[in-house]
Chains A and B, each alone.
Chain A
């Protein structure tokens, strides 16, 4: 399984874009990058995933470098409700559905 490295914590001003980086230098060609977040006392929430191309949905954008060794999750206009722990997960067919959560990045959105 590819290992991911994320900063332990980050701050972001409300209304500004939050850019959360993730390194996954050992990712294999058929492994996807997934992002989840966990708001205090709630279950994890799926945000977005991608393989090679950049992806965008109503919550966020995912930018994956051309060599696929790193990615960035972008929350375009962070709000206080985006304060959470963000998990970057690499997931391939060998995982058989098993999400492996690391320590994640604690994002604090400040007024």
Chain B
């Protein structure tokens, strides 16, 4: 009964390095999301995928790319990491983008030096 699984849980990068955050869900959900959470702030949506084969920008997409690899997996890539991208990243999934609850993973804590 894993739900949403994110890897890695922690990562430290140097400025300019690239990194892919992985997310997988086992609930057969159509929609998946990537959020970031900075200290003292609520979550902000980076990108989402309404269904397999589609992706759309959220509030803060700059500096990120995503890939919906299949129905289960949705990855987030930082091509050239910057200190401003130091954050906790959460992946979520839901049955669809309508009135359906989102289920979250436990996050990836990313530090960029």
Measuring CB to CB, which residues of chain A are less than 8 angstroms from any residue of chain B?
A: 32, 34, 41-46, 49, 87, 91, 93, 96-104
A93 to B107 CA separation, bound complex (whole angstroms): 27
Using a Cβ cutoff of 8 Å, how many contacts connect chains A and B?
57
The contact of B94 among A32, A45, A97, by CB within 8 Å, is A97
- The answer to whether B76 has its CB under 8 Å from any CB of chain A is no
- The answer to whether B79 has its CB under 8 Å from any CB of chain A is no
Q: How far is the CB of B82 from chain A (nearest CB, A)?
A: 23
Measuring CB to CB, which residues of chain B are less than 8 angstroms from any residue of chain A?
A: 4, 31, 33, 35, 41-45, 48, 50, 56, 58-59, 90, 92, 94, 96-99, 101-107
* Residues on A with beta carbons closer than 8 Å to the beta carbon of B90: 43-44
A101 to B92 CA separation, bound complex (whole angstroms): 14
* Residues on B with beta carbons closer than 8 Å to the beta carbon of A43: 4, 90, 92, 104-107
Flag if B43 contacts A44 (CB, 8 Å): yes
The contact of B43 among A32, A45, A99, by CB within 8 Å, is A99
Secondary structure at the A interface, as helix, strand, loop or mixed, is: loop
A91 to B102 CA separation, bound complex (whole angstroms): 12
* Residues on A with beta carbons closer than 8 Å to the beta carbon of B94: 97
20 contacts between A and B (CB under 8 A): A41-B106, A43-B104, A44-B43, A44-B102, A45-B104, A96-B50, A96-B56, A97-B31, A97-B50, A97-B94, A97-B97, A98-B48, A98-B59, A99-B33, A99-B35, A99-B45, A100-B42, A101-B44, A102-B42, A103-B42
* Residues on B with beta carbons closer than 8 Å to the beta carbon of A44: 43, 90, 92, 102, 104
Q: How far is the CB of B20 from chain A (nearest CB, A)?
A: 19
Given contacts A32-B99, A43-B104, 13 further A-B contacts (CB under 8 A): A42-B107, A44-B43, A44-B90, A87-B42, A97-B96, A98-B45, A98-B58, A99-B45, A99-B92, A99-B102, A101-B42, A102-B42, A103-B42
